[in-house]
Amino acid sequence: MPAKSGGRKDQILQVLAGMLEGPRAGKITTAALASQLNVSEAALYRHFASKAQMFEGLIGFIEKTLFSLINKLTAEEKSGIRQVDGILSLLLGFARKNPGMTRVLIGDALINEDDRLQARVNQLHDRLEMTLKQALRFAVSGREVTADLDISAHANVLMCYVTGRWHQFAKSGFKRDPMEYWEVQREKLLSSGAFAYVVPAAD
């Protein structure tokens, strides 16, 4: 039945994500994944045509989860600055809760895998940077940010900050909390003279 098939697919992806959480997790083979699930490799291929398709499933889950949360945030939040602040917090918090998926987000888990997987992650990063641009444009239109702000440059700086924290988290064996120093650093990122605006206090 489709429901059962979908449930098994989700289980496979959950176990794969769990295996990626190992601080020294290397290349994950379908044999190792099948062993964790206590099934044969053939059973895996009844649900996914290839290991690349399994990783595509993980990337799809990450993308769906992040943009569902971001869309909810931007629909409810009327301040462009708070949208930026919220998006950054969301991206760091997602990594904290999903260490294995952080390895996918930085491409670490995709080394020696199909090149199209890294291309898909790159597209996801581009989409995230675009959401930051949109929030900054909203802040400009609301006169929360000076009109001469270089939106593209600043959105890129913010995205570089996020990916840097993701890398540090993963490369430390998940010991360095991606939200470490966030309360201090957010003030530097969102209140500096370069950005020319101040994070509004929450209502």
Q: Tokens 């290991």: give the residue.
A: 51
3-state helix, strand, coil in the chain (%, to 5): 70, 0, 30
Fold of 51-191: Tetracycline Repressor; domain 2 (1.10.357)
For range 57-70, the mean pLDDT: 96
For residues 107-130, one letter each, b for 16 or more C-beta atoms within 10 angstroms of the residue's C-beta and e for the rest, the string is bebbeebeeebeebbeebeeebbe
What span, in angstroms and rounded, lies between the C-alpha atoms of 106 and 150? 26
Q: Which of 39-48, 83-92, 153-162, 189-198 has the lowest mean pLDDT?
A: 189-198
Give the predicted TM-score (pTM) of the model: 0.88
pLDDT for 17-56, tens place per residue?
999 997 666 678 889 999 999 999 999 999 999 999 999 9
Which residue has better confidence, 82 or 146? 82
Q: What is the per-residue pLDDT for 201?
A: 53
Of residues 106 and 201, the one with the higher pLDDT is 106
- At 7 the pLDDT is 85
Cα–Cα distance measured from residue 110 to residue 101, given in angstroms and rounded to the nearest whole number: 11
pLDDT recorded at residue 28? 84
Question: Of 203, 171, 182, which Cα lies nearest the Cα of 88?
Answer: 182
List the chain domain ranges: 51-191
* pLDDT tens profile 106-165: 999 998 888 999 999 999 999 999 999 999 999 999 888 888 889 999 999 999 999 999
pLDDT at 4 over 50: no
* Res. 57: pLDDT tops 90: yes
Tell me what the mean pLDDT of segment 161-187 comes to.
94
Q: What is the pLDDT of residue 70?
A: 98
